[in-house]
Structure 1
Amino acid sequence: MSFTIEERGKPNTQDYRVFFKDSEGKYISPFHDIPMYADEDENIFHAVIEVPRWTNAKMEIATKDPLNPLKQDIKKGNLRYVANVFPHKGYIWNYGAIPQTWEDPGHKDGDTGCCGDNDPIDICEIGSKVCSRGEVIKVKVLGTLAMIDEGETDWKVIVINMEDPEAKDYNNIEDVRRLKPGYLEATVDWFKRYKVPDGKPENQFAFNGEFKDKDFAIDVVKSTHGFWKALISQKTAAGELNCMNTCNPDSPSCCSNDKAKSVVDATACFGEESPIPTTVDKWYYFEKK
């Protein structure tokens, strides 16, 4: 199973979108149509890369838009770029989400005591390759960090690309600690402080900021898949979320290929990218608490 992307609009502007196609060239939703599993028997998952490592643009699956293309988040009317909090530059992993998962805002997690953040579950891919925006990769789950973001549960699942030459050496979270010393600590530090330049407090974590192991993480992913199933079948109210899809015939929101194409055709044609503001390269320094 392979996937391609189609860019629309001008990169680094508010009209920029990244749409997804299946191997037959039909438009699909990366939220609803890409299977969660790449290999269910081996617990290998698909992951959609939203933000390549070292970049700053806060790209994300547009959960409220038809077909859920990637688009850049907007805050206070401006495109959002994550700040560089020393010593970090941009995102320190390939960042993205596992399709066909959903952190239900109506479900209070028994471990964190907080409800979900209304998004697909996030992944931090730690392999050596810098992935490209919109790339769909197959990943092995290694563990998870339970971030509490403004009172919501926001799981960060640590994964590695199955195509990474060292993937065979990583089978649990302790392998990351042993083979990439300092990376897990840097991950906690990044998530704790990345919103501080915006005037927000440091993020908090469940489990005292400790990572949970592979089995725990896989259970979390599977539970969010269950929440997504209820969402796509309308057993759970979608609210502002857009469930338009082309590959789930039992879903009330399943549409024709022509309808999906009309959504893409209604957006701006791909054009020359605008420059990224020079302020994006600023480094912020804060004393660790």
Structure 2
Amino acid sequence: VLLPVATTSIRNLHRHSTMSYQLEERGTPNTLDYRIYYIEKDGVAVSPFHDIPWKSSTSPLVYNMVVEVPRWSNSKMEIATTEQLNPIKQDVKKGNLRYVANTYPYKGYIWNYGAIPQTWENPNHTDSNTGQTGDNDPIDVCEIGSRVCERGEIIQVKVLGVLAMIDEGETDWKIIAIDVNDPDAAKLNDISDIEAIKPGYLDDTRNWFRVYKVADGKPFNSFAFDGQFKNREFAEGIIAETNQFWNELIAGTVTSNLDITNTTCTDSPNKITAAAANEVIQSKPVLSRSVPITDKKATAWFYLPRE
């Protein structure tokens, strides 16, 4: 798919959301320099990590989610935590763009995947539940609704539960949630409700996380709690804890390699002006036509060996 050039690099993505943000694309899609920046309705650039609220203003039980990877896609897009204004970019390993393999029978990611802003899994904190430190990222979310979201979209979700994955010696929480506007949202209020409405989805979610790195030569992932999903109350406690860690991060009171540049956090030592934020974006290459994805992980099946 060919994208237009820089004159149409700004996309409106609030058709399904109560939040009004524009996305400004920079660089060439499917290359190392591609970035997606966020612009608030008043024209000020914001960080999706630090400036977008973690909770919706409409309800204390509704959380904001930054959609990094739409369902069934393979490009491992993520909030760039070490870059100014934290744009969305594709993860890189050994100089190459990262793609998640289609591990049979799964096609790419099996949910809309993203993160809750203003959260941080502190790598200096050993979790009392898992015995492992955090993975230095915002907390991850698997949104299990019926709609395939757009990359970069901000949606409001209801939290249902959480899975505690252990990834190479780090705690990597996976929040299970559903878009509040999904037709099934009213029927799903906790992790125990999911099986009746979406049979097999939780088992496949656990197995997806167990196997998805095997195609890269990595071992099977493991889980705390013997792989059992924890309920909504537990999940919301974990989210609140990661929000508190983020508060310490944005205040500059903890040592970190992450970038805390922002335009709205009053008490942050790294708050910058709207003009300075605009300069960050304008310094990046303008949007140009996408190049084809050539990595076979995005198109071929990978079959797991017999255990």
TM-score, reference length from structure 2: 0.92
**Residue 176, structure 1, aligned to residue 194, structure 2:** yes
Aligned residues of 1:124 and 1:156 also touching (Cα < 8 A): yes
Q: Distance in 2 between matches of 1:16 and 1:5?
A: 13
CA contact (8 A) 2:210 2:221 kept: yes
- 1:252 maps to 2:269: yes
CA deviation profile, 1:156-180 (whole Å, cap 9, x unmatched): 0000001112211110011112210
Which residue does 1:11 correspond to in 2?
29
Corresponding letter in the other structure for 2:220: E
Q: What CA deviation, in whole Å up to 9, does each residue of 1:12-48 have, x standing for no partner?
A: 0111000001121210000000000104754100000
Match of 2:9 in 1: none
Secondary structure at 2:183's aligned position in 1? coil
1:1-289 aligned within 5 A? 1-39=19-57, 41-238=59-256, 240-277=257-294, 279=296, 280-287=298-305, 289=307
Aligned partner of 2:276: which letter?
Answer: K
Aligned-pair distance for 1:2?
Answer: 1.7
Q: CA deviation at 1:92?
A: 0.2
Distance in 2 between the 1:209 and 1:40 partners? Answer: 33
State how far apart, in whole Å, the 2-side matches of 1:138 and 1:107 are.
Answer: 28
In 2 relative to 1, CA 278–242 (structure 1 residues): closer, same or farther, beyond 3 Å? Answer: closer
Deviations 1:105-164 (A, max 9, x none): 000000000000000000000000000000000000000000000000000000000111
Q: Is 1:39–1:45's contact at 8 Å kept on the other side of the alignment?
A: no
Secondary structure in structure 2 of the residue aligned to 1:37: coil
The letter of the residue matching 1:247 is T
Q: What one-letter code is carried by the residue in structure 2 that aligns with 1:265?
A: Q
How many residue pairs end up in the alignment? 288
Conserved? CA contact 2:112–2:148, under 8 Å: yes
Deviations, residues 228-285 of structure 1 (Å, cap 9, x unaligned):
00000011112x2000000002100100001100100010001100001151211111
Give the RMSD, CA atoms, in angstroms: 1.0
Q: Structure 1 runs of 4+ off > 2 angstroms?
A: 39-42
Alpha-carbon distance between aligned partners in 1 of 2:286 and 2:91, rounded to the nearest angstrom = 20
Q: Identity of aligned pairs, percent?
A: 53
Instruction: Note the residue ranges of structure 1 that are not aligned, 5 or more in a row.
Output: none
Equivalent AA in structure 2 for residue 37 of structure 1: K
Q: Which amino acid letter does the alignment assign opposite residue 78 of structure 1?
A: N
Q: Which amino acid aligns with 1:149?
A: D
